[in-house]
């Protein structure tokens, strides 16, 4: 039987009925897109491979348990699983990805101010720390868009596809994230002045 002509939904059914080739074909068909979306976020080949494998373990467990019900939406479903695993990883690590410039340098480390005093450097380092802490306080959906846009350098179209929302929703979440960060910064400044 030539599985290449089957659609994703039929391949899921083939796999659920006990034919491993259904899953093999789904993997062959979608592996590079799923892996690439993970890699763009974590920027580490080995970590991306680990997360990719974890995502497919979840896929297999869900399919085998009969809990899969994403009619005709296999790829977005797997992308969502992978994406959630990436977010979980960043949450667990309590680390914010590094903002890099086009030549791969950490933007924060490039912000050299000539004749910068020790006090200025301490203030700058504290500001970076405060900003990273504030990003972690954002609602998950806003934090997600901000991380994907500024840290993984994804377009709003890519973000919309990955998070399974419209481009307008992704843009809206970004606007809210920036607005919330501004409010937090204002509150922090008031605290310093008061």
* DSSP annotation of 5: G
CATH topology for 118-192? Arc Repressor Mutant, subunit A (1.10.10)
pLDDT averaged over the chain? 79
| CATH number for the segment(s) 8-94 | 1.10.1740.10
Q: What is the pTM of this model?
A: 0.53
**What is the structure's pLDDT at 56?**
93
Residue 134 has pLDDT above 70, yes or no: yes
Give residue-wise pLDDT tens across range 22-35: 999 999 999 988 88
Of 118 and 171, the one with more pLDDT: 171
Q: Which residue has the higher pLDDT, 94 or 48?
A: 48
**pLDDT at residue number 112:** 43
Mean pLDDT of 65-83: 84
Compute the average pLDDT of residues 49-77: 88
Contact 108, 131 (CB under 8 A): no
DSSP state of 52: H
In this predicted structure, the answer to whether residue 113 has a pLDDT above a threshold of 60 is: no
Domain ranges of the chain: 8-94, 118-192
Cβ(19)–Cβ(6) below 8 Å: no
């Amino acid at each position: 039987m030539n599985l290449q002509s089957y659609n994703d939904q039929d391949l899921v059914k083939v796999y659920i009925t006990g034919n491993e080739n259904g899953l093999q074909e789904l993997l062959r068909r979608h592996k590079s897109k799923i892996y690439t979306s993970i890699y763009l976020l974590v920027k580490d080949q080995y970590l991306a491979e680990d997360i990719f494998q974890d995502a497919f373990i979840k896929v297999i467990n869900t399919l085998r348990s009969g809990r899969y019900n994403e009619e005709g939406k296999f790829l977005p479903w797997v992308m969502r699983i992978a994406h959630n695993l990436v977010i979980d990883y960043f949450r667990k690590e309590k680390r914010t990805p590094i903002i890099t410039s086009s030549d791969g340098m950490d933007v924060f480390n490039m912000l050299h101010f000539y004749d910068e005093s020790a006090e200025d450097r301490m203030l700058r380092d504290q500001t970076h720390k405060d900003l990273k802490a504030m990003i972690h306080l954002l609602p998950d959906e806003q934090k997600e868009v901000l991380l994907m846009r500024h840290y993984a350098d994804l377009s709003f179209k890519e973000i919309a596809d990955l998070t399974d929302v419209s481009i307008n929703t992704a843009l809206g979440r970004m606007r809210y994230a920036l607005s919330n960060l501004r409010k937090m910064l204002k509150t922090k400044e008031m605290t310093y002045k008061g």
